[in-house]
Amino acid sequence: MISALKKIWNFAGQEKNNINKSLVISFVYAIFHMFQIGAVYFVLLGIVEKNNSLKPGLLALIFLIVSILGRAVTNYFSQLKQTHASYHMTADKRIEIGKKVKSVPMGYFNENSEGQVVGIMTTIMSDIENTIPIVLINMMSGFLNSIVFTLIILIYDKRIGIVVILTSLLYLYVTSLMERKSAQVAPKRQISQTKLVETILEQIKGMHIIKSFNLTGKGDKKVQNAIRENKGANLNIEKSFTPYNMAQELVLRIGSITIGFSAVYLYFNNSMNLVNTLMSIIISFMVFAQIESAGSSMAVLRVVSSSIDQVEELNKMPQLDIHGENIETEHMNIEFKKVNFSYGNKKIIKDLSLLIKENTTTAIIGPSGSGKTTLCNLIARFWDVNSGQILLGGRNIKDYSLESLMNKISMVFQKVYLFEDTIENNIKFGNQNASLDEVIEAAKKASCHDFIMKLPDAYQTMVGEGGANLSGGEKQRISLARAMLKNAQIVILDEATANVDPENEDKLQKAIDALMKEKTVIMIAHRLKTVQNADQIIVLDRGEIIEKGNHEQLIEKEGLYSDFIKIREETENWKL
């Protein structure tokens, strides 16, 4: 229990102060709670002693009013502080992890499922924010009430107090056994929760494949298995806790009966007066209510602890060193010096050296898996090199702050992703301060203004997630408009025209030509027109540069590039 509470404490971050305040207020609440016992005592005193005075009744009324008002006020502020702490600590943690994700090497998401990350950030974090208030409120107020109650009873009658202490200790022992059991089963439940989100997310993303192969109802076995596994994990928790819950109940009921019998025995033994005897019997029905509430939350505490462990795993995501300088350079030359890079044990880039001069266009070609995209991603620090250096303007790119580096680079990917937002905001993504006029100007240069104006709300038209309601060519042109508006000095094009239909190809090529003016351009391309006009052509194979030069120079060598050109010329001359 202590270790789990420490985890919540460490997880709380800036909200520790609110938790501290809630504990102090909960202690005051426990004191006010005892006033109702005092009210009952004065009522009994008046009845047993048959005192015609109104004093016992008035004292009982005063104690009851103080108890009700005191508990109402302290309970309000205590729960407010605890709930505030719970929701804000999870919000802060989400923001913290969100910031870390921005500087995580992209390779991390190749080795770890996106669904796992999403599951932890959504389902698991929701479990934490919804459960911590219950745990803190029930446990803290329950234990504090029990401690105050026990102290009052010890002062009232040591013999009854000893029975209460022994019962409470036995109850806590059973509860600790249940917590140990919870430590075994709770992680399995949390893992199944994450896996469920992961598989559902995968199912939704791959729904078009499932439908295209007519596997609706058959292709969801993985989801069904995940649901069954999650159901089984939740049932196992309940089954595991049931014997301990029965034992807890039994201990407290025996404790209550023992208090009642002890009071009666002491009365007939002339060791306790009638008022105290009746009071002890009443107390036997009330004394364990708070500790029972606290104990029932201890099992949930282990689930919270397991959830926090999973969240902390995300906190351990590898981070790129992004705390560099805001560097301005005299030129934009890019230089690779003996660069090596691997995905795990698979070597992708091997001892590569290359100079890309500013305001020139470098085309990169090569067979699939040769390292073309990796080379471009290393420039943008999506990954860091294993050894060697990449220089920009004569400085190692690791010397730049990530913001400073990315301000100098625009990237247009083969697979365009648009956010579920307006077209205007999607184009402004690289330059948040741009005006609508600047957005329109960039859209015109990217040859997408005309089709945007035909949309229902023009630039305010909402784009579906990923750009679902636009064609591939339309998404590509919006992506180019986004890059133009950013107006970075280095442009990286990753097969930007690979999947474009012939009707849009000319428009897209014009947009690319406009984007490339007076820029340092690195492009991965397979189209003949695009490649042959480059200032420098790099031919990659298995992570190594096997040919380098311009179009005429490489044609004369009759190597891989020459073969590539011949194949392209043949395919482009095909006619139907």
Instruction: Report the CATH number at residue 288.
Output: 1.20.1560.10
Q: Look at residue 193 and tell me if it is in a domain.
A: yes
- Region 337-344: mean pLDDT is 85
- Region 567-571: mean pLDDT is 63
> Which residue's structure tokens are 């009873």?
153
pLDDT of residue 151: 84
Contact 385, 340 (CB under 8 A): yes
pLDDT over threshold 50, residue 553: yes
pLDDT in tens, 450-483: 888 888 888 888 887 666 677 777 787 888 888 8
DSSP 177-195: HHHHHHHHHHHHHHHHHHH
Q: How far is CA 189 from the centre of its chain?
A: 18
Tell me how far apart the 2 most distant CA atoms of the chain are, in Å: 122
Angle at 370 (CA atoms; ends 368, 374), nearest 5 degrees: 105
Q: Look at residue 66 and tell me if it is in a domain.
A: yes
pLDDT over threshold 70, residue 113: no
Tell me the two tokens of residue 126: 């929701």
Q: Which residue has the higher pLDDT, 390 or 133?
A: 390
pLDDT in tens, 421-435: 888 888 888 787 888
pLDDT of residue 52: 65
Q: Look at residue 469 and tell me if it is in a domain.
A: no
pLDDT in tens, 248-263: 888 888 888 998 888 8
What is the rounded (10 degree) CA torsion for 226, 228, 229, 235?
Answer: 150
- Region 146-158: mean pLDDT is 82
Q: Which residue has the higher pLDDT, 481 or 298?
A: 481
Q: Please state the length of the chain.
A: 576
Q: Look at residue 23 and tell me if it is in a domain.
A: yes
pTM of the model: 0.60
pLDDT over threshold 80, residue 70: yes
pLDDT of residue 575: 46
Q: In sequence order, which residues have a C-beta less than 8 Å from that of residue 422 and are 6 or more positions away?
A: 457, 459, 460, 461, 462, 463
Burial grade of 365 (CB within 10 A; 0-12, 13-18, 19 or more): buried
- Region 319-346: mean pLDDT is 78
Range name among 167-171, 376-380, 383-387, 528-532 with the lowest pLDDT average: 528-532
What is the rounded (10 degree) CA torsion for 195, 198, 202, 204?
Answer: 110
Percent pLDDT > 90 in the chain is 1
pLDDT over threshold 60, residue 110: no
Structural domain total, the chain:
1
Task: Give the span between the Cα atoms of 470 and 457, in whole angstroms.
Answer: 14
pLDDT of residue 505: 63
> Which residue's structure tokens are 């200790």?
169
Task: Give the span between the Cα atoms of 70 and 72, in whole angstroms.
Answer: 6
* Mean of per-residue pLDDT scores for the chain: 77
Q: Look at residue 348 and tell me if it is in a domain.
A: no
pLDDT over threshold 70, residue 207: no
> Which residue's structure tokens are 């004394």?
287
- Region 554-573: mean pLDDT is 71
- Region 200-226: mean pLDDT is 60
Q: Look at residue 216 and tell me if it is in a domain.
A: yes
Q: Which residue has the higher pLDDT, 141 or 496?
A: 141
Cα 87 to Cα 12, 20, 22, 289, distances in angstroms? 10, 16, 14, 28
Percent pLDDT > 70 in the chain is 78
- Region 155-172: mean pLDDT is 86
- Region 354-371: mean pLDDT is 84
Q: Look at residue 401 and tell me if it is in a domain.
A: no
pLDDT of residue 69: 92
pLDDT of residue 213: 47
pLDDT over threshold 70, residue 270: yes
Q: Look at residue 454 and tell me if it is in a domain.
A: no
Domain that holds residue 26: 2-315
Contact 255, 247 (CB under 8 A): no
Band of pLDDT at residue 573, cut at 50, 70 and 90: low
pLDDT in tens, 17-30: 887 788 788 788 87
Band of pLDDT at residue 394, cut at 50, 70 and 90: confident
